Amino acid sequence: MANILAVVEHRQGAVRDITYELLTFGRKLAEKTDGKLTGVLLGHNVDNLTDNLKKHVHRLIVADHDVFKDFNGDVYQQALADIIKKENPFLTLIGNTAFGIDFCPSLATHLGVPFTTDCIDAEIADSGIRVTRQLYDGKMDTHMKLSESPSYMLTMRSGTCPAEEGNLSAEMQKIESPITTQPSYKKFIEYIEAAVGDVDITKADVLVGVGRGIKEQANLSMVEDFAKAIGGVVACSRPIVDANWLPKDRQVGSSGKTVKPKLYIAVGISGAFQHIAGMKNADTIIAINKDSNAPIFNEADYGIVDDLFKVLPALKSKIMELKK
């Protein structure tokens, strides 16, 4: 019987999508062994969040305290250490997000629990845990077995287990917060919203996403031209923003914007999962990449395996013809 604990991720008053993915995944895993899934919600004035959460877990532990008002990885670590020691779950699940990776590795180390991060699948095997992870820019998968232990911890990549509707009605257990003040050595000050630019890529019907394959800032004008021809807007992958070639508000992906255009054309983008996370819900995805093994082709509807510098101008002129 494998009892599983899953940590609820929420921010600025809303439960994040990863939470329902984790809960769906955790519940399936628990039920396979007649175990139970327990959710842990650390927050302040979060009663409005619990109704929906209760549908996804067998039991929901809630610690309500203003120390949890905003996220501080260290506060989470201390509180969860306490809860996990008491609950003694077989497996603790956390999202592999900016939230989860800030405390899972140190928490597991603190507890002496074998753990690993960024899993895309996990199964209970020979009374232990076997996970699937992705290596080398998504070009390899690996199966790994965690070391024998009565208890494990994993972070799961978002988007790997689609969230399902919940039909449970969990009992809720309010607990005293194990921690009441932020530590002096790490204090949350504020959230700073991303600057708003002149273009809102989340509103566009057609996005031309450009990646590192463009090679050089000067080549962006070609992409701009193309986008204009097709009546779309230029978006990009993270390295383009890292290089300061386009502003942050054009970035698509987990640390950028999530977009749902009617058409997304990925130009010279390899298809790292952080990028996919931001555009996989586009109605139609066309990818142009010269590497036929690029992971983007596993996400796209149509693929063109060729040099973007050849394809874009040709495509632009065809589109101009059709427009006439």
Ligand X SMILES: Cc1cc2nc3c(=O)[nH]c(=O)nc-3n(C[C@H](O)[C@H](O)[C@H](O)COP(=O)(O)OP(=O)(O)OC[C@H]3O[C@@H](n4cnc5c(N)ncnc54)[C@H](O)[C@@H]3O)c2cc1C
Q: Which of residues 178-237 bind other proteins (CB under 8 A)?
A: 183-194, 205-206, 212, 215-216, 218-219, 230-231
| Helix (H) or strand (E) run with residue 211 in it | none
Contacts to other proteins from residues 8-67, by CB under 8 A: 11, 16
Minimal CB distance to ligand X: which residue?
Answer: 253
Q: Which does 206 bind (CB under 5 to 8 A by kind): other proteins, ligand X, none?
A: other proteins
Which residue number, 194 or 320, has a Cβ lying nearer to ligand X?
194
Quick check: helix, strand or coil at residue 93? strand
Question: Per residue, what are the HEC states of 239-268?
Answer: HHHHCCCCCHHHEECCCCECCCCCEEEEEC
Residues 6+ apart with CB under 8 A from 314: none
Residue span binding other proteins (CB under 8 A) among the ranges 61-69, 83-91, 166-174, 254-262: 254-262
Q: Which does 219 bind (CB under 5 to 8 A by kind): other proteins, ligand X, none?
A: other proteins
Distance CA 128, CA 256 (A): 36
Can you tell me which of 114, 159, 163, 175 binds other proteins, judged by CB under 8 A? 114
Which residue number, 90 or 297, has a Cβ lying nearer to other proteins?
297
Q: Which does 262 bind (CB under 5 to 8 A by kind): ligand X, other proteins, none?
A: other proteins
Distances (CA, A) of 112 to 81, 126, 150, 153: 11, 21, 11, 10
Quick check: helix, strand or coil at residue 155? strand
Which residue number, 3 or 158, has a Cβ lying nearer to other proteins?
158
Distance CA 141, CA 41 (A): 32
Which residue number, 37 or 226, has a Cβ lying nearer to other proteins?
226
Question: What residues pair up with 94 in beta bridges, in sequence order?
Answer: 155
Can you tell me which of 87, 105, 172, 175 binds other proteins, judged by CB under 8 A? 105
Which residue number, 51 or 242, has a Cβ lying nearer to ligand X?
242
Q: Using alpha carbons only, give the angle 56, 177, 191 rounded to the nearest 5 degrees.
A: 80
Are 258 and 204 spatial neighbours (Cβ–Cβ below 8 Å)? no
Which residue number, 66 or 320, has a Cβ lying nearer to other proteins?
320
Q: What is the CA radius of gyration of the chain?
A: 22
Q: Which does 188 bind (CB under 5 to 8 A by kind): other proteins, ligand X, none?
A: other proteins
Residues 6+ apart with CB under 8 A from 318: none
Q: Which residues bind ligand X (CB under 6 A)?
A: 211-213, 237-239, 251-256, 268-270, 272, 274-275, 278, 288-291, 294, 307-309
Distance CA 211, CA 124 (A): 38
Provide, rounded to whole angstroms, the least separation between the CB of residue 218 and ligand X. Answer: 14
Q: x/- string (CB under 8 A) for other proteins, residues 123-162? A: -------xx-xxxxxxxxxxxxxxx-------x-------
Task: List, as own/partner pairs, every contact residues 134-138 make where C-beta atoms lie below 8 angstroms and the sequence separation is at least 24, other chains included.
Answer: 134/273, 137/270, 137/272, 137/295, 138/270, 138/271, 138/272, 138/273, 138/295
Q: Which does 260 bind (CB under 5 to 8 A by kind): other proteins, ligand X, none?
A: none
Which residue number, 127 or 293, has a Cβ lying nearer to ligand X?
293
Binding residue count for other proteins, defined by CB under 8 A: 109
